[in-house]
Structure 1
């Protein structure tokens, strides 16, 4: 496979997601400029676990955005996110001008609001496609955490929905905004290391079937809604930890809800391989599992 020749630094940066990272490096005089209320991008957050609380904290600091609503199937996490938003805006908004943060346990109600411009999705992976497609059809711009979804069919359906409804979609691929990864891909695409024959990607093992026992239900959690399109089973705190938690839950390692290291880290590292090869708009021609694929633990070649 040949690398892309004679690609200048300027054209490379323009052709990548560098623009997506631009707001993070704007001069302070621009970031500090006053933004009129009607010019702000209004946001709704769906799935208020550890990842989305981090994203929420970041978006709250941007004068260009305003958070109107949060959604989670767990009451404790939902109310915690609401408090996080209201405590922040209470110190920023003029007295009497802030009307509070709405809460929802069903994402469809949040997406149905006409006054929300965009949604931030950070649910377990098995919900990504359905929520994103619903948001696109409602003409909402979308930021959706990685991995994008769970299958090729889901990914193509998401692309179709986004394009048909002319909305903006960005997936959470932090390495695209890293100077080190941009530089490495630039070197590869300019042929600095020569002709690329093989790419080895180490990401960890695949997901396994979920065989966890059933625990007592968690009060305030809509477990059926958490499961959504996944097979029905009893509650277990390893999948949806009780209350507000600071770790990343282990649902990602069970194939009913995620793809293990193959998708969790693969969403980052496979993407960089595609980026460096200039193959962003393509996919694999063939996937050949090893004879002992059940024992596979490292990655993909």
Structure 2
């Protein structure tokens, strides 16, 4: 790791800045019209947006094609401290690392680009990438412990950001991210892709427009357990760091830990040093939809009650909750019940299951209305207590939510226009804070907590307040 960190606030010269600065030096700044340069920090509609990918593993492999297939942008660089490794993916089936990403991107463009494009560049250190490459936008696909640092660093460079969920590792870092993005005036899109799915938007619109009456409760079922995605879960002992892997760089601002194969790749999600377990992994998706439907996107609960679960010893390698349950009450009386799928929060779905030999899906978002009415939505699934409920279409004068049909395209359009995207940063922060609240209660063995969503602090519990943030490992400091 370099001893001297690049100045995160120092400007980099892009092709647009170069044109403007050159013209100004000649005394003819007016010869470059504003429409050619675009708005401040924004490419003109005639230009392709240049994109860098930070972290090439499971998420980047699955989501970067949405950028590659969009002619509004070109992916030009990738950064990852791993050169090339195996056991990525949701069953250990993929390879990851910067060389894998570089080859993936180059292969796509060689086979599909209409004109010749520049070869993709690969870097170990994302800071070097941002110093050397002419980048408009960044897709952050790194583990959760990197999200805040890379967001703040990139925002100060004026880069537009597509950040994969969950937004943050903790509440304090999330608020820092919101502030940095707002101060920079850049576009941020959270990778909460369910907001660009018609089923989820439809469910939220039906709830918002009173089709099931006043919503009494929202039941949110999440996956539980500790998934062994990498198939390396039994390799928990310290081991030599693989060749061509800068493990210290991978750790970044996280607390120092010895390298263990069971942590990498993706299984890091089960260690609080790097993530928040399944509560944050899928809570970032499903709680977000509850917030959208209930019009609570800019606030949080005031009480968290009935907190219980199974949390391993904090010294365990996989120390996030494997089972969990907690209930959130908002100032307006709205209640969320959040639990892992083993609790079977949605018995109504069991009754509708045609094949009784298979268990009914117990994940997703279940809106419990009046008179026995309900709506349930999950990926590719939308059900109601009465199927005829969906025949009453949303009328022009009723509430219509933000419609995005393609999450990446929505982001790119907003980079050009400066308009808000479908999944802005404040919304993501409020969503993931609800996951963090549950984790804090579980980690401390609390059965209840009182929360002030305006001050973003716990009432009468300084130990809980101490878990809202963490200190970054030196030298990873941003003033």
Q: TM-score, normalised by structure 1?
A: 0.78
How much does 1:222 deviate?
A: 0.7
1:238 aligns with 2:262: yes
Q: Aligned residue pairs: how many?
A: 257
**Contact 1:119-1:140 at 8 Å conserved across structures:** yes
2:49 to 16, 19, 41: 41
Report the Cα distance in structure 1 between the residues aligned to 2:45 and 2:194, rounded to whole angstroms: 32
1:196 to 198, 208, 215: 215
- Counterpart of 1:7 in structure 2 is none
Q: 2:271 aligns with which of 234, 254, 271?
A: 254
Q: Tell me if 1:81 matches 2:101.
A: yes
> Conserved in 1, the CA contact under 8 Å of 2:309 and 2:325?
no
Structure 2 matches for 1:1-301, cutoff 5 A?
Answer: 39-76=47-84, 77-92=97-112, 97-113=116-132, 115-205=134-224, 212-241=236-265, 249-288=266-305, 290=307, 294=311, 297-300=323-326, 301=337
By how many angstroms is 1:214 displaced? Answer: 0.7
Identify, as 1 or 2, the structure richer in helix.
1
In structure 1, stretches of 5+ residues that fail to align are: 1-35, 242-248
Tell me how far apart the structure 1 counterparts of residues 51 and 308 of structure 2 sit (CA, whole Å).
47
Shift of the alpha carbon at 1:234? Answer: 1.4
Secondary structure of 1:238's match?
Answer: helix
Greater fraction of residues in strand: 2
Task: Tell me which moved more, 231-240 or 289-298.
Answer: 289-298
| 1-structure distance, mates of 2:185, 2:155 | 8
Could you tell me whether the CA contact under 8 Å between 1:47 and 1:123 is conserved in 2? yes
Cα 1:37/1:275, change in 2 over 3 Å: closer
Q: C-alpha offsets along residues 166-209 of structure 1, whole Å, 9 cap, x if unaligned?
A: 000011112111111111111111111121232221224488xx
Q: Summarize deviations over 1:138-171 as a string: whole Å, max 9, x none.
A: 1000001100011111111111111100000011
Partner of 1:22: none
Report the CA distance shift for 1:112/1:232 in structure 2 as closer, same or farther (over 3 A).
Answer: same
C-alpha distance in structure 2 between counterparts of 1:204 and 1:65, whole Å: 34
Distance 1:93 1:264 in 2: 34
Displacement of 1:288 in angstroms is 3.3
SS in 2 for 1:69: strand
Could you tell me how far 1:217 is from its partner in structure 2? 1.4
CA distance in 2, matches of 1:299, 1:47: 32
**Matches of 2:135 and 2:164 in 1, distance apart?**
19
Provide the rounded CA distance (Å) in 2 between the counterparts of 1:180 and 1:56.
23
Q: Is the 8 A contact 1:204 1:297 kept in 2?
A: no
**Separation in 2 of the partners of 1:133 and 1:206?**
32
Q: Distance in 2 between matches of 1:173 and 1:93?
A: 28
The structure with the largest alpha-carbon Rg is 2
Q: By how many angstroms is 1:46 displaced?
A: 0.4
Matching residue of 2:400: none
The TM-score, its normalising length taken from structure 2, stands at 0.50
Considering only aligned residues, what root-mean-square deviation do their CA atoms show, in Å?
Answer: 2.6
Q: Which moved more, 1:54-63 or 1:114-123?
A: 54-63
Residue of structure 2 equivalent to 1:5? none
3-state SS of 2:50 partner? strand
Per-residue deviation at 1:296? 7.1
Secondary structure of 2:305 counterpart:
coil
Q: Distance in 2 between matches of 1:212 and 1:231?
A: 18
C-alpha contact (below 8 Å) 1:203/1:298 kept by paired residues? no
